[in-house]
Structure 1
Amino acid sequence: MLVDPVLSLWSDRLFQATLVVLLLAMVFTALEYSAGRVARAARRQPAAVGAGSASGDAASGDTLSGDATAGPADTAVADPAGPGRTRPDRYGRVGVALMILAVLLHLGSIVLRGLAAYRWPLGNMYEFCSALSMMAVVGWLVLLRRHPVLRPAGVFVLTPIVLLMFLTGTVLYLEAAPVVPALQSYWIMIHVTTITLASGLMLIPGVASVLFMIKRSGRPAVLADKLPTVESLDRLAYRVTVFAFPLYTFGIITGAVWAEAAWNRFWGWDPKETVAFVAWVLYAAYLHARATAGWRTSRAAWINIAAFATIVFNLFFINMVVAGLHSYAGF
């Protein structure tokens, strides 16, 4: 079955446009984060030098607001073009709008890739990492819809996504083509799609746990100052993992069923299977530790970071360096 070169070309162009838009979104989220830090410093300075009572009241308001990041108190950088909105808030809104645009472009790229090759568009590392990146952005947008206070952390979520997209479009890129017979199964729609969704969502709690450790230690201060509260980051990591872990479990189970149909065995301790199981155990240990008194602080966060590191190790090192039964998917 031939590949449609026109659809394949448009898929590649939409992927490139997605990367550019995500890069712009990362810039605006970084501006929101930086402008928020400047605003907080500007509000604290009058109190430090013993300014008038109005300045002292403003400083007191900042102290009472704690780590709130919604931005209404940032009057020091209010934007005259948007009454009632601060400059950091406007930067953040532009960043979110660009992320939504990036998702639409990315979805178009993935759909056209599948139409060009006349198959499900998750047949190699390029397509898998592309879809994983989109899932991570979608997951973050859903979280922002429910919890806007987390928005200043967006630059730390988008940074690894943009890096992954860049590697996907350069090092991992493959032209659209039919897949090998081993992948010509309806199980690719179930197993690989579920693993892609779960892995993309796991990026968010992984980043959240890293930020939790930074915020809790207060170092480096230049990063910790404007981050959401440790409680918010901890809840974010836990709740997303609670949602993604069953998906990851289902993906492993469906992979075992597919393995039995393809290789006449459910489990063979192939390198990719083994590392995936190690990641599953670590995520299970994190959820258990998070629910155990005495482990709800940095201990649980470290386990979550180790689990996400295992996912990354499985994605790159196992797929690209170690030979195994899953190597036919290519780069």
Structure 2
Amino acid sequence: AAGAAVLVAALTIRVLITMRSPVGNTYETIAFIACMGVICALVAELFSKKGIVLAAGLILGALSCQMGIMYESSQAVDHMDPLVAILRSNFLLSTHVITIVLGYAAGLLAAVLSHVYLLASPLRLVGRKTEQSLDRMAYGILCFSLVFTLVGTVFGGIWGNESWGRFWGWDPKENGALMIVLWQLTVLHARKAGWLSPWLLHFSNVLGGVIIAFAWWGVNMLGVGLHSYGFTSGRDALDIFYWSEAVLCVLFIILHYRALRQAEMR
């Protein structure tokens, strides 16, 4: 709570100085995701009271803050710079960017929770009731993420229509947002239909976190599209994240099938 309060104060100060929403560039979205991720975890903790979602929020907040520090030091520029022309719409900047980045934050929080489940459940580090609680929390947070990602994408289309004369143009950034929406819709519908076991739900959340990272950072490095104002360096760090997640996914699969075999032997 103290960490979230510091982040809220810092973002408020940026708003007062710049007189705009605190999500005008890539650096600010990192700080916003750190703040919103921790706040989402605090709210979810009021319902779960297990401490796990709170720990997940702390992990997400700490990693995001460290990411912001590394990004700022690598860029070595002032990140309180004026907005580029296309972003100079306080209303659309506040609605589109804030809602979609809030969706990113919730989706990443769900992914962190699912990492905890996929590691702890096969090793019997948590009880059955805790596993069920993690299922409900991951599902609920994923629903929350979908709502804000979808609404943010629609607002982005409205902004695109005002700025470029078309609602949708298959721009890489637009496609990245669509990937998140379609993935989350697929996961939630499959879970509701009973096609996904709890393990598959959490594994899908981990893959969803990778998709969010691609939509948030990866498409910025393709070198094409109308969202050229958001292009950044940092390909190596993103590749490390991708490979780390790939290794973890292999580990989760091994642990899962090992747990299944042990259950069969009993």
Match of 1:229, SS? Answer: helix
Partner SS state of residue 234, structure 1: helix
Provide TM-score, normalisation by structure 2: 0.78
Asked if structure 2 preserves the Cα contact closer than 8 Å seen for 1:208 and 1:234, the reply is no
What is the match of residue 155 of structure 1?
Answer: 55
CA gap of 1:227–1:197, structure 2 versus 1, over 3 A, is farther
Call closer, same or farther: CA 1:328–1:251 in 2, change over 3 Å. Answer: same
The aligned counterpart of 2:84 is 180
Q: Which residue does 2:258 correspond to in 1?
A: none
Within 1, Cα distance between the matches of 2:175 and 2:149? 14
3-state SS in 2 of match to 1:283 = helix
1:232 paired with 2:137, answer no
Q: Is the 8 A contact 1:132 1:199 kept in 2?
A: yes
How many residues in Structure 1 have an aligned counterpart in Structure 2? 227
Cα distance change on mapping 1:273 and 1:113 into 2, 3 Å = same
Out of 202, 208, 212, the residue aligned to residue 117 of structure 2 is 212
Aligned partner letter, 1:162: A
Query: Which letter does structure 2 place at the counterpart of 1:237?
Result: A
Distance 2:81 2:4 in 1: 24
User: How large is the RMSD of aligned CA atoms in angstroms?
Assistant: 2.1
The AA in structure 1 aligned to 2:25 is N
5+ residue gaps, structure 2: 233-266
For the 8 Å contact 2:173–2:225, the answer to whether it is kept is yes
Distance verdict in 2 for CA 1:246–1:153, change over 3 Å: closer
**For residues 105 and 95 of structure 2, what CA distance do their matches in structure 1 show?**
16
- Tell me how far 1:227 sits from its aligned partner: 9.9
**Local SS of the residue matching 1:171:** helix
For residues 165-212 of structure 1, what are the alpha-carbon distances to aligned partners after superposition, in whole Å with 9 as ceiling and x for unaligned? 112123146431210110001211110010121111112211222222
Which of 142, 165, 171 pairs up with 2:65? Answer: 165
Q: CA deviation at 1:141?
A: 0.6
1:199 match: 104
| TM superposition shift of 1:283 | 0.2
Structure 1 CA distance, aligned partners of 2:71 and 2:173?
Answer: 20
Closer/same/farther in 2, CA of residues 156 and 138 from structure 1, 3 Å limit: closer
Deviations, residues 127-169 of structure 1 (Å, cap 9, x unaligned)? 11111110000000111122211x1454344223312211212
Offset of residue 284 of structure 1 = 0.3
Which moved further from structure 2: 170-179 or 140-149?
170-179
Residue of structure 1 in register with 2:213 after alignment: 312
* CA distance, structure 1, for counterparts of residue 2 and residue 128 of structure 2: 25
> 1:319 offset after TM fit, Å?
2.5
The 10-residue stretch of structure 1 (242-251 or 155-164) with the greater mean CA deviation from structure 2: 155-164
CA distance in 2, matches of 1:135, 1:227: 29
Matches within 5 A, 1:1-331: 100-149=1-50, 151-152=51-52, 154-172=54-72, 174-185=78-89, 186-218=91-123, 224-225=125-126, 229-320=130-221, 322-329=223-230, 331=232
Between the aligned residues of both structures, percent identity stands at: 27
Rounded Cα–Cα distance in structure 1 between residues aligned with 2:128 and 2:4:
25
Q: CA separation in 2, counterparts of 1:302 and 1:141? A: 23
Cα offset for 1:228?
7.0
Letter in structure 1 aligned against 2:209 = F
Structure possessing the higher radius of gyration over alpha carbons: 1
> Which residue number in structure 2 is paired with residue 31 of structure 1?
none
Bigger shift: 281-290 or 297-306? 297-306
Aligned mates of 1:237, 1:308 — CA distance in 2: 12
Residue identity matched to 2:62: V
- Contact map agreement 1:285 1:303 (CA 8 A) in 2: no
Per the alignment, do residues 189 and 294 of structure 1 end up closer, same or farther by CA in structure 2, a change over 3 Å counting?
closer
Question: 2:60, 2:109 within 8 Å by CA — same for their partners in 1?
Answer: no
So what's the TM-score if we normalise by structure 1? 0.64
d(CA) in 2 for partners of 1:202, 1:152? 16
- CA 1:294/1:309 → structure 2, altered by over 3 Å: closer, same or farther? same
The equivalent of 1:73 in structure 2 is none
CA contact (8 A) 1:195 1:247 kept: yes
